[in-house]
Structures are given as structure tokens and as C-alpha cells.
Amino acid sequence: MIKNQEYLSEKASYCLDIAKKLGATDSSVVVSNSISESVNFRNKKLDESNRSDNLAIGITTYIGKKKSSISSSNLLKENLDTLIEKCIETTKNTPEDEFNSLPDKDLLAKEVKDLNLYDDAHIKNENKIEYLERLEASASSDKKIVNTESSFTEDKSNFILANSDGFSKGYKSSSFTASSVIVAKDDKSMERDYEYTSKCHLHDINSAEELGKIAAEQTIKKLSPKKIGSEKIAIIFDKRIAKGILSTFAGAISSSAISRGTSFLKDKINQKIFSDEIDIFDKPDILKGLGSRSFDSEGVKTNTLKLVEHGLLKHYLIDTYNGKKLNLKSNGRCGGASNLYFDNGNISYKDLLNSNPRCLYITETIGHGSNIVTGDYSVGATGFLIENGDFKYPINEITIAGNFKDMFKNITLANDLEFKYTTNSPTMMIEGMVVAGK
């Protein structure tokens, strides 16, 4: 059973009181409890079953402009006393930093919105096993499938964030996640692909049969890939790859990267970085949203931000510390974005495929080839060649490259946005990228 708010609040309150008595001028505490249960299958057989129950506390103390933090999984009173004493001693011996402080009081959240992030439902291990048996049966229906791995995980968590300015709030959340990883083989190649579903509520996840079928179909389609030559060509990114480009954008507009001067988007507020058709939102109050929250990891209230409006960059993702460095107020993004997404484009998925007589459709990228300092982008990739809107054959062993400064301005988005992840994008096309092949 997950620990209730009262228990967590008592522990947080106790720590704040002790920290004050020992000389902290300010302090903040996070107390959390999470329970995770998972079952894994391999080749239609039960592989393992795990359960973890984690109770943790993180304490940050300030003495003037000095700051330090400490954490533990032992919440017994004697340990908390020792923990806070050590934290205070460390703080005393830490150099001052003029930007260290708790968030401004007027920015703290006044309420916790009911965003429907918690499902009381519990799925027993035998039911997880039954789900995975159906998933594996669906995923293994074709004789080309030579290996399957699947898992089902149920997570429940609760937390309290409190500080010495009187803030004390938290909420429960849950997630149910099922995944399928498939390996297929023919006489020319062996390929791998996957599919997964993750939702706050149990009844919202995909059926086992659907999940297995999609994973198998995606894998089989990749068999017998061909190589192509080097060229400059339009590239269409599948939605699960397109969201990675949006994640890179989020990293480039984080206040930490901006304040350090390590982002190619430094000093770009109110400048055109995308085409007129591009809008980007960060919306923390989506019901059942995987990234939804009422406040950030400092307790600052979160509101919807239109980060990019008609191609213009309007906001950075700002926390308290780096905001002070930039002389900007926190906008509740300590810890990053919430539910980040490109708004829908004006063209259908089918029309996007038909927009060029010849293009590449990318379903997987390999390596971490995004450099937010320079904007350079270079990754290995696999996918499909498309001619006149039709998928002709799978391709592999290519490298795609460009620079985000140019890529962002050449993005065209389909109108097929779905909210499957914390970061979401419609299918994306970028014109004129460089492909290095055989």
C-alpha cells in the first residue's frame, strides 16, 4: 500500500523543523514513496517477476547564499536527525552563490489541480501474466519471428514537497506500461523493432493483441533492407522519432543551457527559428497526461506556455536558480517540460507522403548525434524509401545530417498528432537533409 499524504507530510514537517533549529535560514524537503511491480516474458515463457517499494527523502538546506543537499531511503527519526546535521555541516563549508534561494513565494502553487493522474486499479500478477501470454501469442503469429520479449509494469507513487516558506503539497500518480520487443529473420537479414503503451489508467492501455500485432508488423517490414547512395533528400520522421527532435529543442531552451551560453538558441527570444506554420506548446494540465503536474520540482505553479508562436521563440524553460542568472522569473519548469508537443500541421499524413516523388521515411535513429551548442545533427538511421507516396523497400546503414538552425525552418508537420508520450509530435518532414549511404 502506497504511503498516504499525512505520513509523508509529517516526515517533511519534522525535517524542516530540525533544519531550522540547527541553523538553516531556509530549507526544502521532498518525501516520496513508489511501488513498482513488473512481469517479463521471453519467447512465450515467464522470465521474471519483480516488485520494489521505495521510500526516499531529499533535503536541501540554505545558510544565507550557501546551499547543499542530501538524500536517504531511511526515514527513521534517528537517521533523519543525523542526515540533517550532516547537511547543515556541509552547507556551512560550501561556497556562497548569489543565485541560491528558494522560489519567490508569490510564484508557488496555491492548489493542486485534479488532473486524474492516479488509478486505484491493481492488476494482479496472474492477470499481468495472462495479458503477456496473449501479447506474445499475437507477436509470434508469423514464422519469421524468432525472438520475443515483453513486459508489463504497474507503478504507483505519492510525494510531498515542502519548504520553509510554508509550501507543502503533493499528489499521487500511477502508470501502467506494456511493451513488446520483436526479432524477425529471413534469408537476408535479422531485424528488431518494438511497440509499447503507457497510460495513467489501466483501461486506457492498448489491448495485448493489438500491441503484439503492431510490434510484429513493424519488425517484419524491416526485413531484407537495401542500401542507398549518398544524396540530399527530403526526410520524413515517424512520430516516435520526430518527438526526439522536439526533446532536443527543449534541451536547447532550458535556462541552464542558456545561462551557461551552451545553446545555439541563446539570445533568440522573439526571433524566428521555425517557419510561420510551427507552434509548440508545453501544457501541464492535460487530464491523464503522462507529464501533467500542478507545480514543478520547486513548487512553482505551472501554466501552459506557447513556446513557439508562428515560428517565433517566445519562452525559455526557466527554473529559479538559472532564472536569477538570466534576470528572469521561473515559469515552473524546474526539471524540464511537462507535456511538450508540436501543434498539428495543415497537411494529412497521406499528402505528406506524396509531397515529394522520392523521400526517406525514418523509423529508427542510432546514436546521440544532437549537439545543442552548435546545432549540428548527425545520426545513423534505418527506415524506408518512399516513391510517389508508396513504401518501396526498407533501407539501413545510412547517416542523416544537418543543422537544427536550418532543419527547424524546413519542417512540415502532418495533422496526425497523438498524445502517446510526454513529448509528442505529428509526423514530420524536413526538406533538404544530407544522407550518407553506401
Position 133 in a domain: yes
Residues 198 and 251 placed together within one structural domain of the fold: no
* Alpha-carbon distances, residue 108 vs 104, 166, 207, 275 (angstroms): 7, 10, 40, 35
Residues 195 and 267 placed together within one structural domain of the fold: no
Return the SS3 of 251. helix
Which residues lie below 8 Å from residue 120, measured CB to CB, with a gap of 6+?
none
In this predicted structure, what is the pLDDT of residue 201?
98
Residue 76 sits in a domain whose CATH number is 3.30.2290.10
Q: Of the candidates 220, 250, 266, which is a domain's last residue?
A: 220
In this structure, the chain runs to a length of 438
Residues 112 and 197 placed together within one structural domain of the fold: yes
Which residues lie below 8 Å from residue 39, measured CB to CB, with a gap of 6+?
46, 48, 49, 125, 128, 129, 132, 151, 152
Q: Which amino acid is at 407?
A: M
Residues 101 and 148 placed together within one structural domain of the fold: yes
Return the SS3 of 29. strand
- Burial call 215-249: b when 16+ CB within 10 Å, e when fewer: bbebbbbbbebeebeeeebbbbbbbbbbbbbbbbb
Residues 127 and 253 placed together within one structural domain of the fold: no
Q: What are phi and psi of 107, to 5 degrees?
A: -95, -10
**Burial class for 338, CB neighbours closer than 10 Å (0-12, 13-18, 19+):** buried
In this predicted structure, what is the pLDDT of residue 328?
96
Position 239 in a domain: yes
Mean pLDDT by groups of 10 residues along the chain of 438 residues: 94 97 97 97 95 97 97 95 96 96 97 96 95 96 95 98 97 97 95 96 97 96 94 94 96 97 96 97 97 97 98 98 97 97 97 95 92 95 95 95 95 96 97 88
Q: Of the candidates 220, 243, 258, which is a domain's last residue?
A: 220
**Pairwise CA distance, residues 60 & 62, whole Å:** 7
- Give the structural domain span for 153: 5-220
Q: What angle do CA 193, 246, 218 make, to 5 degrees?
A: 15
Position 317 in a domain: yes
Residues 153 and 252 placed together within one structural domain of the fold: no
Position 391 in a domain: yes
Position 171 in a domain: yes
Q: How many domains does the chain have?
A: 2
Residues 164 and 27 placed together within one structural domain of the fold: yes
Residues 140 and 245 placed together within one structural domain of the fold: no
**Pairwise CA distance, residues 110 & 165, whole Å:** 13
Position 241 in a domain: yes
Q: What angle do CA 178, 184, 190 make, to 5 degrees?
A: 125
Residue 253 in contact with residue 265, Cβ under 8 Å?
yes
Residues 160 and 309 placed together within one structural domain of the fold: no
Q: How many CA atoms lie within 13 A of 261 on its CB side?
A: 0
Residue 224's region, left for phi above 0, alpha for psi from -120 to 50, else beta, is left
Q: Which amino acid is at 216?
A: A
Q: Of the candidates 220, 252, 285, which is a domain's last residue?
A: 220
Position 225 in a domain: no
Beta bridge partners of 361: 236, 384
167's grid cell: 509550501
Position 116 in a domain: yes
Residues 211 and 259 placed together within one structural domain of the fold: no
Residues 193 and 236 placed together within one structural domain of the fold: no
Residues 129 and 56 placed together within one structural domain of the fold: yes
Dihedral sign, Cα of residue 47, residue 48, residue 49, residue 52: negative
